[in-house]
Amino acid sequence: MSSQVAIGSLGISGSHEPRQQGGTPSPFTLVDLQHRQVRYVRISLTDRCNYRCTYCMPAEGVEVVDRPQLLRFEEIVRLVRIFVAMGIRRVRLTGGEPLTRRRVVDLIAQIAAVEGLEDLAMTTNGHQLVSLAGPLHDAGLTRLNVSLDTLDAERFAAITRQGHLKHVLDGLKSASEAGFSGIKLNAVMLRGLNDAETSDLLAFARAHGHVLRYIEYMPIGTDDYWGPESFISGDELRTRLTDAGWTLRGDDISASRGGGPARYWQAWPRGVDPDSAPGTPVGFITAVSDHFCATCNRVRVSPVGTLRECLSTAGALSLRDLMRQGAEDAVVTQAIRDALDGKVDGHRFWSGQTTLESMVQIGG
């Protein structure tokens, strides 16, 4: 039996048939007021990080919350269970640096065991992948995104302030050897800092079988550095690639690549015939110049358990407090639905609205 139920102003549609033995739970769909299906939750494991990337955090004086304020493992797993019961099938773990969370491999195993969850991914700076890639893969992590803004060791140290390029490059190798495929590389592009490497980064991704996504620098966290001097749009990056000899074709492969925020093109380097050789997928996350709010399919949970419906607005619902006050799953579920009524139709970055919370506080 199929039905449509309206709860508050949220429509929840889907089959209400009981779960089949051994099958996946009924596919309820979570829809917000703009009729966008929320399919994907990003959960931040910590606000702590072993790097201090210039576009993300100040060099010093970063305040972190007291550990008891962070969501506990059992709270994170409970939330995943609740979201899965609401129809969500994909979870991404982020931070701060998620691999700095103690016993993170145990946590992955617990989350991966949640019935009905189909995809458990992580975004990491890659610093600890040499030792952790194998255990993470064995524990049930399915996909990895690794941040890599430059291939130049000195520039890498300057951007991350505390990082070493070699750790990340070795970590990528370990991740491939551990069985992760289709690893995505995230590169935040900054004019005058790493933009000269636009083509080199794509060549690196192609050579290693990774998928590069260029990310537009967003006015989040740091209010003094973002501006026309540092910002580069996706359009300009594509022009730079074609100027460097790349052939780019269509963004029509986007839909086949997970429905995330990136729009994808196929790319062929100079000298390779696009009609006879496979292209390399390359993504552009143009959150500023060409936002994808109309198709936004995600919500975020901050390290302290605040539900954040949009990156650009402060969340108000503390799922952690609800759970610590003893709320039943049904109460937490309804609170999430009610909060999604406030999911805005689009961000306001260009009209001056931003948040001075950094990506690490939000859960990037």
Is residue 354 classed as helix, strand or coil in its secondary structure? coil
Verify binding: residue 104, ligand SF4, rule CB under 6 A: no
The Cα 266–Cα 42 span in angstroms is: 27
Is residue 360 within 8 A of residue 50, CB to CB? The reply is no
Is residue 252 within 8 A of residue 264, CB to CB? The reply is no
Verify binding: residue 95, ligand SF4, rule CB under 6 A: yes
| Binding site partner of 217, from ligand SF4, ligand SAM, none, Cβ cut-off 5-8 A by kind | ligand SAM
Shortest Å distance, C-beta 148 to ligand SAM? 9
In the bound state with ligand SAM, the residue whose beta carbon lies nearer, of 83 and 231, is 231
Shortest Å distance, C-beta 320 to ligand SF4? 20
| Interface residue with ligand SF4, options 52, 78, 208, 257 (CB under 6 A) | 52
The Cα 125–Cα 162 span in angstroms is: 11
Residue 10, beta-bridge partner list: 7
Residues 128-157 that bind ligand SF4 (CB under 6 A): 147
The Cα 35–Cα 102 span in angstroms is: 38
The Cα 354–Cα 23 span in angstroms is: 43
Verify binding: residue 96, ligand SF4, rule CB under 6 A: yes
Comparing CA positions, the residue from 181, 260, 257, 225 lying closest to residue 55 is 225
Verify binding: residue 359, ligand SF4, rule CB under 6 A: yes
| Alpha carbon 24 to its chain's center | 25
Q: Position of tokens 């100040």?
A: 58
| Binding site partner of 52, from ligand SAM, ligand SF4, none, Cβ cut-off 5-8 A by kind | ligand SF4
Residue ranges that bind ligand SAM, judged by CB under 6 A: 49, 55-56, 94-95, 97, 123-125, 147, 186, 188, 215, 217-218, 220-221, 359-360, 364
Which residues of the shown chain bind ligand SF4 in the complex (CB under 6 A)? 49, 51-53, 56-57, 95-97, 125, 147, 359-360
